[in-house]
């Protein structure tokens, strides 16, 4: 069977999650990850970002079995040379590790966001999206990591094996949205994992603060846990720099990012996903495309942006080069220079 005929792993994950949406209330009487008070985004069992769930099992099957225009990734997609970061810096430096993974070096702290060093973004070692380039920094070349930030529990963002390696080496503080700490501690019992709600503002050092804020997304690790752990974006602040980081999000009507831009902006940098968006009829609820990413950059009042979530793991139907091509066109349509919003390849960096 060819790669084109295989059920894509993101489709398999969506299939499992949709099955979980249908059977979760029957099979579970309580949330396995988080038990806490009801709020405007938690009903006692599942979390919500305020939008109705519009896609289900029938839509997954329609996508996976219907006529598709899928452009397969190459087996290898060359990236720039791997970066060799310094031990620490006083300013701000960000290196793209690939897909949604980044090394942040800010005001003397070393942080990883959504680190994935595994060969596959998958619960299995033998199937699932396989990386087509090496991480932008070799694991052995990572400086001592002080803090890990996790945006949500999908396998291309929360990689338990990488977190276990980091814990064994550096014992970093691990910060994540509600419920995700239970997932981490099930594999790493003594991890310094802590979970927080939207709008919680945390002190990382005397110079660095981080705030968890909403995004339009969802969560699932298996068939029966859809939306049972929270998801978030992060605002990272130092005396000299303010950065908005989104791991995954849909665009919806854009109102969330206008609100966050008004409340927290302007930003020196927005780190935004630009890939995993085709077909739009299926993906638009939870993954924005490059045109929408430009709108989010402007809504957040960000001076610059860098794009991720493309070029390493194929999760959806668009080809490997389509996100940067679409980003270039979207910037031209908006009358913005290309240097305002860079698509980042693994190993490339941004500094302030």
How many Cα neighbours within 13 Å face the side chain of 89?
14
The answer to whether position 39 is within a domain reads no
Whether 61 has a pLDDT exceeding 90, the answer reads: no
The number of residues making up the chain comes to 352
Whether 349 has a pLDDT exceeding 90, the answer reads: yes
The answer to whether position 110 is within a domain reads yes
The answer to whether position 85 is within a domain reads no
The answer to whether position 305 is within a domain reads yes
Whether 195 has a pLDDT exceeding 90, the answer reads: yes
Residue 219 · residue 47 · CB < 8 Å: yes
Q: What does the block give as tokens for 171?
A: 């014992």
The domain that contains 179 carries what CATH number? 3.60.15.10
Task: Lay out the sheet containing 92-98: strands in order across.
Answer: 192-196, 173-177, 147-149, 109-113, 101-106, 92-98, 349-351
Q: What does the block give as tokens for 233?
A: 């974006």
The whole model's pTM is what? Answer: 0.92
3-state secondary structure of 58: helix
The answer to whether position 202 is within a domain reads yes
The answer to whether position 82 is within a domain reads no
Instruction: Categorize the per-residue pLDDT at 60 as very low, low, confident or very high, splitting at 50, 70 and 90.
Output: confident
pLDDT at residue 58, as a whole number: 82
pLDDT digits (tens, 9 = 90+) for 237-256: 999 999 999 999 999 999 99
The answer to whether position 53 is within a domain reads no
For residue 207, count other CB atoms closer than 10 A to its CB. 15
The answer to whether position 79 is within a domain reads no
Instruction: Categorize the per-residue pLDDT at 29 as very low, low, confident or very high, splitting at 50, 70 and 90.
Output: low
The Cα-based distances of 323 to 132, 242, 257, 271 in angstroms read 16, 26, 21, 15
Domain carrying residue 344: 92-351
pLDDT digits (tens, 9 = 90+) for 222-237: 989 999 999 999 999 9
pLDDT at residue 15, as a whole number: 43
Dist CA 262 CA 240 (whole Å): 19
Mean pLDDT rounded to a whole number for the chain: 92
Q: Averaged over 140-161, what is the pLDDT?
A: 98
Tell me the angle at which helices 57-65 and 9-27 cross, rounded to the nearest 10 degrees.
Answer: 160
Instruction: Categorize the per-residue pLDDT at 69 as very low, low, confident or very high, splitting at 50, 70 and 90.
Output: confident
Q: What does the block give as tokens for 144?
A: 């001592």
Vertex 251, ends 183 and 40: CA angle to 5°?
55
Q: How many domains does the chain have?
A: 1
3-state secondary structure 153-166: CCCCCCCHHHHHHH
Pick 67 or 247 by higher pLDDT. 247
């Amino acid at each position: 069977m060819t790669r084109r005929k295989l059920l894509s792993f993101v489709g398999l994950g969506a299939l499992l999650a949709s099955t979980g949406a249908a059977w979760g209330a029957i099979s579970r009487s309580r949330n396995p990850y988080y038990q806490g008070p009801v709020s405007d985004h938690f009903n006692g069992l599942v979390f919500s970002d305020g939008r109705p769930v519009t896609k289900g099992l029938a839509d997954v099957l329609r996508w996976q079995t219907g006529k598709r225009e899928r452009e397969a990734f190459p087996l290898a997609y060359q990236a720039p040379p791997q970066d060799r970061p310094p031990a620490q810096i006083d300013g701000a430096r960000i290196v793209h590790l690939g897909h949604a993974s980044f090394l942040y070096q800010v005001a003397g702290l070393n942080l990883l966001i959504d680190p994935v060093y595994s060969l596959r973004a998958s619960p299995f070692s033998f199937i699932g999206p396989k990386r087509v380039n090496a991480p932008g920094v070799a694991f052995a070349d990572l400086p001592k990591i002080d803090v890990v930030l996790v945006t949500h529990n999908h396998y291309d963002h929360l990689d338990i094996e990488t977190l276990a390696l980091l814990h064994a080496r550096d014992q970093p503080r691990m910060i994540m949205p509600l419920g995700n700490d239970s997932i981490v501690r099930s594999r790493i019992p003594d991890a310094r994992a802590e979970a927080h709600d939207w709008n919680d503002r945390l002190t990382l050092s005397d110079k660095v603060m981080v705030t968890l804020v909403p995004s339009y997304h969802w969560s699932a690790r298996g068939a029966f846990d859809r939306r049972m752990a929270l998801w978030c974006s992060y605002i990272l602040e130092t005396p000299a720099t303010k950065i908005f980081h989104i791991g995954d999000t849909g665009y919806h009507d854009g109102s969330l990012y206008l609100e966050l831009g008004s409340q927290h902006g302007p930003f020196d940098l927005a780190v935004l996903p630009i890939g995993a968006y085709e077909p739009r009829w299926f993906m638009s609820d939870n993954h924005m495309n490059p045109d929408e990413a430009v709108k989010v950059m402007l809504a957040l009042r960000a001076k610059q942006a860098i794009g991720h979530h493309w070029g390493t793991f194929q999760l959806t139907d668009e080809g490997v080069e389509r996100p940067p091509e679409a980003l270039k066109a979207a910037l031209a349509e908006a009358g913005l220079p290309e240097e305002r919003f860079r698509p980042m390849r693994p190993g490339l960096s941004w500094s302030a």
